[in-house]
Structure 1
């Protein structure tokens, strides 16, 4: 990739393609990947394009060093460090040395499907925008390395319960990281005023769609509703979200609706008509048109692709 290009959004599959990685193990139906950066053959020193991913990632740097820039903040990444990022702002990364650097990536649909709907309650740090790389002790790095080794081994298999096993192992990894690094972490207090607004918006968005899916409420929030919940003018809220994340608030709402729709469609027991109403659409045709627009296929086709 040439670092003059600004990429609007990178999916996991696009990441593999951009880094010239083999897609042999990549399953488009599942939002999870794991690989060691030393498999790529970067020409060092390497500087990436500016890009905005739509997935979460963990870097486990056993031996290597580089830099990561997000939201005009640059962090050093060094040996025995763990670094987490989530889908939010534009960022770039650079590497001067890569000997042993494991990258684990996963999207929100994977988290909800294999760890649970309450994933953000258990792991609130997943909602934050910017987390500094954390240099950890040798003992702890060996602990997470053991879990990562199991995840990597499972990923290379072709078994019926492959992703269920990976989901459980990822939960173990997240609990270990939470206990060691973010024991009392509360992202609402991190960063400047704009960051707090983004984090609060993400939390309300997550809670609102959880309530929609569970049937607690049946009215979908609009921009004004989110602004009211945050005691902000809707124009100000929209400008903060756009400037901080590169996406307008309607795009965030649409992407969240799509994520929840995909999770619900993977459950054959829930009729599409019921999903339509759960997500606040008045007609199945409206839901179908929305889903086709963003996913490129009908809800029925998506469901069939997961239940052949």
Structure 2
């Protein structure tokens, strides 16, 4: 039953193994899959355990019914709909009818390897946070179905260039979907106005450094710690923060670390070694190099200057 346990999955293959579903159709050569759900052998009605993926997925529902629940939002999946999910919070899925539902999954590594490093610039909708299934017109569903057939044919081959070809076909598919569904999507706008991931990250960042200054926390968080607090994969969190704020997550953390360092250095009761440790530096020299990089002076000279 749903929510009986929580599953971390770095690939659809790992997820299906954890859910005790068939994995016969998988090609483990790359983090890409495409197949029809009617080939998996779901015993309907089916409801999954709660899981958190590290991959993107598209469902092309020609004929079938089900639902996805992400956080407290539940989305019904109906015939002739396209449903997109990305690596984010825990979710469950359930199916009551599976006749013809094509599933495509891929991870960030696959996108950047076969489409390009600027994939989020070309396809910013990959980072959208609230995604409802879209029922599309017959002509568009048929248009993408032609591309999907080509991808399936390549996926079933055993050639040296199969994933390069799939990467090009996937890019065409993503461009088509962007133009038809997300032509006006802007992640910066969403980040400034309503991005829950960005808002939550900033809130945790501020609270954590407040706790550090008050001695309620012993060590500064790393990217992994923020990802854990938000129930996200660190790579995905980093991509969201970068795309929606224009500044990567390490820069956000570095700026807060510098602000806190300057504040702690004004307190002569703490040694520089203690400050280094509290801010997450394993060696005082590492902290000194970090501080010099941004302030153009050493922690010792900064402290002397402030007190003089």
Same fold (TM over 0.5): yes
In the aligned structure 1, how far is the partner of 2:209 from the partner of 2:99?
Answer: 45
Question: Could you say if the C-alpha distance between residues 114 and 10 of structure 1 is closer, same or farther in structure 2, counting changes exceeding 3 Å?
Answer: closer
Alpha carbons 2:55, 2:106 under 8 Å: kept: yes
Q: Is residue 26 from structure 1 mapped to residue 27 from structure 2 by the alignment?
A: yes
Q: Which residue of 2 aligns with 1:85?
A: 85
Equivalences for residues 258-297 of structure 1 within 5 A: none
Asked if residue 166 in structure 1 is aligned to residue 166 in structure 2, the reply is yes
Secondary structure of the 2:100 match is strand
Pick aligned residue for 1:235 from 208, 222, 226: 208
Q: Give RMSD over aligned pairs.
A: 3.1
Rate the CA distance shift 1:245–1:142 in 2: closer, same or farther, 3 A. same
Distance 1:25 1:182, change over 3 A: same
In structure 1, the residue corresponding to 2:66 is in which secondary structure?
A: strand
User: Which runs of no fewer than 5 residues in structure 2 stay unpaired?
Assistant: 211-220, 242-308
The CA deviation at 1:21 is 2.3
Alignment of 1:84-233 (within 5 A): 84-190=84-190, 193=194, 195=196, 197=198, 233=206
How far did residue 129 of structure 1 move? 2.4
How far did residue 97 of structure 1 move? 0.6
| Runs (5+) with no aligned partner, structure 1 | 202-226, 257-308
For 2:122 and 2:76, the matched residues in 1 are separated by 28
Instruction: Specify whether residues 100 and 182 from structure 1 end up closer, same or farther in structure 2 by C-alpha distance, changes over 3 A only.
Output: same
Q: Determine helix, strand or coil for the equivalent of 2:117.
A: coil
- How many Å separate the matches in 2 of 1:167 and 1:60? 18
Instruction: Map residues 12-23 of structure 1 onto 2, 5 A cutoff.
Output: 12-17=12-17, 18-23=19-24
Query: What's the CA shift string for 1:154-192, capped at 9, x where partnerless?
Result: 000001100000000000000000000000012344498
Alignment check: 8 A CA contact 1:64 1:100 kept: yes
Q: Tell me, in whole angstroms, the C-alpha distance in 1 between the residues paired with 2:209 and 2:52.
A: 23
Cα pair distance change 1:240/1:71, threshold 3 Å: farther
TM-superposed CA distance for 1:26, in Å, is: 1.4
Q: Secondary structure at the match of 1:20?
A: coil
Aligned residue pairs total: 224
Give the secondary structure class of the aligned counterpart of 2:97. strand
After the TM superposition, which parts of structure 1 deviate over 6 Å for at least 4 consecutive aligned residues? 236-240
Secondary structure in 2 matching 1:132 = coil
1:209-245 CA distance string (max 9 Å, x none): xxxxxxxxxxxxxxxxxx6xx9962628979854543
In structure 2, C-alpha distance between the alignment counterparts of 1:48 and 1:125, rounded to whole Å: 26
Would the alpha carbon gap of residues 190 and 65 (structure 1) be closer, same or farther in structure 2, given more than 3 Å must change? farther
The Cα of 1:20 is off from its aligned counterpart by 2.8
Q: In the superposition, relative to structure 1, how do residues 71 and 187 fare at CA in structure 2: closer, same or farther (>3 Å)?
A: farther
Give the distance between the partners of 2:176 and 2:170, measured in 1 at CA: 10
Q: Label 1:24 to 1:179 Cα distance change in 2 as closer, same or farther (>3 A).
A: closer
Which structure's CA Rg is the greater one? 2
Given that 2:21 and 2:42 are in contact with CA atoms closer than 8 Å, whether structure 1 keeps it comes out as no
Q: CA deviation at 1:118?
A: 0.5
**1:178 match: secondary structure:** helix
Provide the secondary structure at the position in 2 that maps to 1:233: helix
Matched position secondary structure for 2:4: coil
- Contact 2:2 2:50 (C-alpha < 8 Å) held by counterparts: no
Query: Do the aligned partners of 2:88 and 2:236 also contact (CA within 8 Å) in 1?
Result: no
CA distance in 2, matches of 1:31, 1:68: 22
Match of 1:245 in 2: 231
Query: Contact 1:19–1:40 (CA<8 Å) still a contact in 2?
Result: no
How far, CA to CA, are the matches of 1:156 and 1:182 in structure 2?
Answer: 30
